[in-house]
Amino acid sequence: MEKIRWKIEEQLTAGQAPRSVRSLLHDQWLLPDRYIHFLRRRHHVLVNGQYRYMNERVAPGDVITMTFNGDEFRAPAANDYVPTVMPQLAVLYENRDLLVINKPQGEKSHPNEAGETGTVMNDVEGYLQGTNDGAYMVHRLDQETSGAMVVAKNPVVVPVLNRLISDGMIHREYLAVVSGQMQGRGVLDWPIGKDPDDKRKYCVAGRGAKPARTDYQVVATSPERSVVRLRLETGRTHQIRVHLAHSGHPIIGDPLYNCDGGSQMLLHGITQRLLLPFSFEKIVIQAPLPPYFHNYLVKYDLG
C-alpha cells in the first residue's frame, strides 16, 4: 500500500470560474507539470471525494484533495536539518503551508554541510517537531541581514512560491542605513556577477554577470548617512549590498562591501508582500526592527 506523506485539501470559493481540473492545477494553482502527471496517473487528485478526468470541470464549492508520496518532487522531499531544541523563533505569520519568521542578524539561513546546526532552518525544524511538517527552503537572507524570511512547511508549495517570487508577484522590501547623503528614488539597474578578485564577494559586471534591478526610495537623510527603503525586482546574491556599494552609498556595518562599516550591518527585511499558495490571498507582513537598528536611527535622528 502506498504511503501518503502530504495531503492538501482546498474548497473552491463561490467566485471560482468554471474550468477543467488540469487548468485549475496548472494555470490557477501553478503546480508543475511533474506534479500533475503523478496526480493524474495515480488518481491522487479528487473532486468531492471522487477522481475526475483532467478535462472535466470543477465548480464553486467543490472540495479538491491532493495527496503526494514524495517521489513527485525533483528535489529530495526528506529534510535532513538537525532540529534545534527549544528554538527561539520569532514567527510573524503561519498557515498550513508556510511560515514567515523574523530572522535575527548574525544567524545563517541554512546549513552548508550535513549535520550543521545553529541556522534558521534548524530552528524551524525544531519548531515543527511533533507535527507532520518540516522546514523547506524558499529563499535565503545573508547571515548579517535580519528580517522577514519565508520557509515552506511542505515540499508541495516550494515551486509555487519560487514561481511567484521569480514572476515578481511576491515582493520583498528592505530598510537600510547607508553611508553618505543619498537622495530621491529610482532603480539601481546594474548586472551582478562574481568578483574575480575575491571569492567571497560579488560585483557589478563581474564574472557571469546577470541582470539585477533594485528599486530604492530615500526616506531620511543627513550629510553622513541615509535611510533607504528598497525592493528587489530580481534576487541575485548580495544584490542590495552590491548595488548600494557601487552607487557610492555602502550599507553601514557591511563587513564585505564597506571598509568603514560598524559592528552590525544595518540591512533589514522589513516587509513581505505575499500571495498565499492555492487561495492567492494577498497579505502584508511586517518584521519589527531589531533594537540595535532602532537605536541607531534614534541616535542619529533618522527615525
142 is catalytic: yes
Q: Which of 97, 133, 142, 254 is catalytic?
A: 142
Asked whether the beta carbons of 143 and 157 are under 8 A apart, the reply is: no
Contact 275, 282 (CB under 8 A): yes
Would you please indicate which residues are annotated as catalytic (active-site) residues?
142
